[in-house]
Amino acid sequence: SECKCRRPPGTEIYRETSDNDVDNDVNMNGSRISVFEVDGKEHRVYCQNLCLLAKLFLDHKNLYYDVDPFFFYIITEVDALGAHIVGYFSKEKHSAEDYNLACILTFPQFQKCGYGKFIISLSYELSKREGKAGSPEKPLSDL
């Protein structure tokens, strides 16, 4: 049977808006950008599968089973068919070091499109809203 899901689980926390045309928010590919916050504890299998998929592209990726202590922020391009994932980052719910980003991945077909910069900027904006300085875990991934 066909899957009826057309977007990631979790809460949509960001939708790109355009000053020019609010009703037709599109990026250069003709799609809108949306970001979803997914709790690793509430959507364990989805987040584990996301980590396993990321492991195909990141040599050092080792988190894929213990996703409970993380939030996952899924960046998508939205069109008439649904929300299509272009990348994500994960963040510890409670970081002793105030890290604002644990793992970051932009899928290869979307690299060099500005999504990596967008993801890093988003992680800092979320930290500011929490009243924390925050910095990414070191080292950052190659991709």
Catalytic machinery residues: 137
Q: How many Cα atoms sit within 13 Å of 7 on the Cβ side?
A: 21
Q: Tell me how far apart the alpha carbons of residues 43 and 35 are, in angstroms, rounded to a whole number.
A: 16
CA torsion, ordered 121, 67, 141, 61, to nearest 10 deg: -170
For the chain, give the number of residues.
143
Please give the C-alpha separations between residue 110 and each of 20, 65, 105, 128, 143, in angstroms, as whole numbers. 25, 26, 10, 27, 11
Q: Alpha-carbon distance 94 to 80, whole Å? A: 36
DSSP state of 141: P
